[in-house]
A = this chain, B = another copy of it.
């Protein structure tokens, strides 16, 4: 890991203005955000952020997204406890995607798997579930929750 790969949480907290200026939000005011486990490199999930989610993530040090189904700010783990502590926040060449390096507590996927990308071709025709369920979702979410 080079010095350029390292980060300082204080540097993230003060960078909301610069980050918001660098992001090209789409016509819905959203940008796709990839969450990657910082130490292993595992791609955990993709979600969407609006301006408020970017600010809250940088300022609190925990991943916040915009829930398109609920049309509201979503603090990852607010009901499940499966939070994502922020280690770095990067924006791509065109400003239309962001990459969050995080430390995932528990599991990222609402199905109880560590990451969301668990279906892949393995038998020459159909998709196979390649990652196991690690946590019973009934234990993750209270009645009436939609899995955050």
Interfacial residues, chain A to chain B (CB-CB below 8 A): 4-5, 7-8, 10-12, 14-15, 17-19, 22, 32, 34, 36, 40-43, 45-46, 58, 88-94, 97-99, 109-111, 113, 116-128, 130-131
A11 touches which one: B34, B91, B110, B124 (CB < 8 A)?
A: B124
A-B contacts, 21 listed (Cβ < 8 Å):
A4-B122, A7-B121, A8-B124, A11-B123, A12-B121, A14-B124, A14-B125, A15-B124, A15-B126, A22-B127, A34-B34, A36-B41, A41-B42, A41-B43, A45-B97, A89-B121, A90-B119, A90-B130, A92-B118, A93-B113, A97-B117
CA distance A22 to B128 in the complex (A): 11
Interface contact B88-A120, CB-CB below 8 Å:
yes
Closest 7 CB pairs of A and B: A41-B41, A15-B121, A92-B116, A90-B117, A46-B97, A4-B130, A99-B117
A10, A34, A42, A109 pick with most chain B CB within 10 angstroms: A34
Contact A46 B11 (CB under 8 A): no
For A19, list chain B residues within 8 Å (CB): 121, 127
Minimum C-beta distance from A33 to chain B (A):
10
